[in-house]
A = this chain, B = another copy of it.
Amino acid sequence: MNKLPEKTIGRLSEYRRTLLNCLAKGKTHIYSHELASLHNITPVQVRRDIMLIGYSTTLKKGYDVKALIDVIGDIIDTEDGLNAAVIGIGNLGKAITAYFNGKRSKLRIVATFDVNPDKTNRVISGVKCYAMADFEKMVKDLDISIGILTVPPEEAAQVTERLIMSGIKGILNYTSTSLNVSPNVYLEEYDMITSIEKVAYFVKQQNKES
């Protein structure tokens, strides 16, 4: 199962979220067009994504919700799961930690880090906050491979250096500083201002049309 398109990975994660909701509601099967309309995409796209991960059903009563969840899990998750840390426990760090905490058994936020001594050595949003001074040690002790960066922008570059040096393999960067990392570290960046500006641009376009 090599080389799935990046876009497909994102959608699979979203499908699973929806499928877990369906399961909780007792829904056992779901049609491609149902899944599609829940995500504002076409049924063909859903079927194609599902084809790519090698799941199929002989029935014409939609996909087996439980089975599909498992197959997506085989793609996205690792057997033992991965450990992540949130670096910088301000409002955004707290939001992510609290929101994520316990939602995915194969992906855990096992630590948060901050420089502020008022925050360290306490449990915040359900996870213990360590001092940045202990970062390298804790990465080893807790086998952390993913860093979620929510520090102030001016500290981002320097903190990233430490993440990479300590052996972190994937970084999700929420600071408004673009980072450069070595090619063996996966980097995903997200800037909220850009997202808001995109919405603003399309609102502007719509206003022009009418």
- Residues of B with C-beta under 8 A to A94: 91
Instruction: Flag the segment in A44-52, A132-140, A195-203 that touches B.
Output: A195-203
- The CA-CA distance from A184 to B107 in the complex, in Å, is 37
Q: Is B146 touching A196 in the complex (CB atoms < 8 A)?
A: yes
Main SS of chain A's interface residues?
helix
Chain B residues lying within 8 Å of A26, measured Cβ to Cβ, are: none
* Cross-chain contact A178 with B40 (CB below 8 angstroms): yes
In the complex, identify which listed stretch (A61-69, A76-84, A112-120, A158-166) lies at the interface while the others stay far away. Answer: A76-84
Kindly state whether residue A105 has any CB partner on chain B within 8 Å. Answer: no
A202 to B84 Cα, complex, angstroms: 14
Among candidates B9, B38, B180, B207, residue contacting A198 with C-beta atoms closer than 8 Å: B9
Q: Is A186 an interface residue (CB 8 A)?
A: yes
A56, chain B: closest CB distance, angstroms: 21
* A40/B100 in contact, CB under 8 A: no
Whether A171 lies near B198 (C-beta < 8 A) is no
Query: Across the interface, do A200 and B90 meet the contact criterion of CB distance under 8 Å?
Result: no
**Please, which residue of chain B has its CB at the minimum distance from the CB of A185?**
B206
Residue numbers in B under 8 Å from A201 (CB-CB)? 9, 75-76
For A169, the chain B residues whose CB sits under 8 A away are: 203, 206-207
In whole angstroms, how far apart are the Cα atoms of A137 and B184 in the complex? 52
Instruction: From the candidates B98, B107, B180, B199, name the one contacting A186 in the complex (CB within 8 A).
Output: B199
Q: Jot down 11 A-B pairs with beta carbons below 8 A, ordered by A.
A: A10-B194, A13-B191, A14-B194, A17-B176, A38-B178, A90-B95, A96-B192, A145-B203, A146-B203, A169-B206, A170-B203
